[in-house]
């Protein structure tokens, strides 16, 4: 499906699924930012930003999470990382600088609008998977669709869709204006710093099946080597 404007009307009824309280979700985030903090950034209508971010046409805090830790890693770190001559892909250390992986627990039931099946997409008048597969150059258009979906489905506290980089696992966006203030809480001791030597070992273990490797930090950039 080529990128088009949302229709004025759509006869389909979106499918709702509920993630119950206690569900674990994962995200990669800046170490200085609390794991459960929603992003208040209002993106430009056309440039930058993420797939379903807020714009001035529809302002809401948002939080991207994933159904598994490998999905959170893949969705955040593997963008624009192609294979070259059949060799393992190398994840540049700049992409993991000051980053960590954290687990979040839902503290309440959350009702999500599902886009994980072809029939789910048909329910919002999408005849293929463009909306959940579009590249960054189309994110201005996918945000327009997200605003249309929100306007038609006031019950939706977020959207769940099949991960672009870790199918059949799922990516999720939670809408801060429709979720309770305490909807998520960081799981104690779950955070994994990604930019130290232990983080490199962790990433190499988790991402090896994806054909990805990361070099450990040099001694002068590692915590133990600082100040020497």
* 30-89 pLDDT, tens digit each: 999 999 999 999 999 999 999 999 999 999 999 999 999 999 999 999 998 989 888 889
The H or E element spanning position 205 is helix 197-207
pTM of the model: 0.92
With respect to residue 225, please indicate whether it lies within any of the assigned structural domains.
no
Residues of the domain holding 56: 16-69+99-184
Closest CA to 166 of 108, 122, 120, 212: 212
CA atoms within 13 A on the CB side of 127: 5
With respect to residue 129, please indicate whether it lies within any of the assigned structural domains.
yes
Q: Between the CA of residue 149 and those of 97, 139, 143, what are the distances in Å? A: 35, 15, 10
Which contacts qualify for 199-205: CB closer than 8 Å, 24 or more apart? Answer: 199/96, 199/100, 203/73, 203/77, 203/91, 203/96
With respect to residue 189, please indicate whether it lies within any of the assigned structural domains.
no
Number of domains the chain contains: 1
With respect to residue 112, please indicate whether it lies within any of the assigned structural domains.
yes
**Share above pLDDT 70 across residues of the chain, in percent, rounded to a whole number:** 95
- The crossing angle, in degrees rounded to 10, of helices 197-207 and 69-77 is 100
pLDDT of residue 85: 85
With respect to residue 220, please indicate whether it lies within any of the assigned structural domains.
no
Q: Is the pLDDT of residue 2 over 80?
A: no
- Which of the four pLDDT bands, split at 50, 70 and 90, describes residue 182? very high
With respect to residue 44, please indicate whether it lies within any of the assigned structural domains.
yes
With respect to residue 155, please indicate whether it lies within any of the assigned structural domains.
yes
**CB within 8 A of 122, min separation 6: which ones?**
12
With respect to residue 107, please indicate whether it lies within any of the assigned structural domains.
yes
């Amino acid at each position: 499906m080529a990128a088009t404007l949302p229709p004025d009307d759509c006869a389909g009824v979106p499918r709702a699924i509920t993630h119950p309280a206690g569900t674990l979700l994962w995200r990669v985030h800046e170490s200085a930012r609390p794991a459960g903090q929603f992003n208040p950034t209002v993106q430009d209508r056309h440039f930058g930003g993420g797939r379903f971010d807020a714009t001035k046409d529809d302002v809401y805090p948002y939080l991207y999470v994933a159904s598994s830790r490998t999905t959170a890693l893949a969705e955040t770190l593997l963008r624009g990382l192609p294979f070259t001559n059949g060799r393992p892909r190398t994840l540049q250390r700049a992409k993991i600088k000051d980053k960590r992986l954290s687990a979040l627990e839902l503290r309440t039931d959350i009702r999500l609008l599902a886009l994980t099946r072809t029939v789910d997409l048909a329910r919002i008048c999408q005849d293929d998977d463009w909306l959940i597969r579009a590249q960054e150059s189309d994110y201005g258009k996918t945000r327009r669709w997200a605003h249309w979906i929100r306007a038609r489905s006031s019950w939706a506290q977020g959207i769940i869709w099949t991960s672009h980089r870790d199918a059949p696992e799922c990516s999720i966006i939670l809408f801060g204006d429709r979720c309770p203030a305490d909807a998520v809480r960081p799981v104690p001791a779950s955070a994994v710093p990604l930019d130290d030597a232990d983080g490199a070992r962790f990433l190499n273990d988790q991402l090896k099946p994806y054909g990805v490797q990361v070099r450990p930090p040099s001694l002068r950039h590692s915590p133990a080597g600082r100040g020497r």
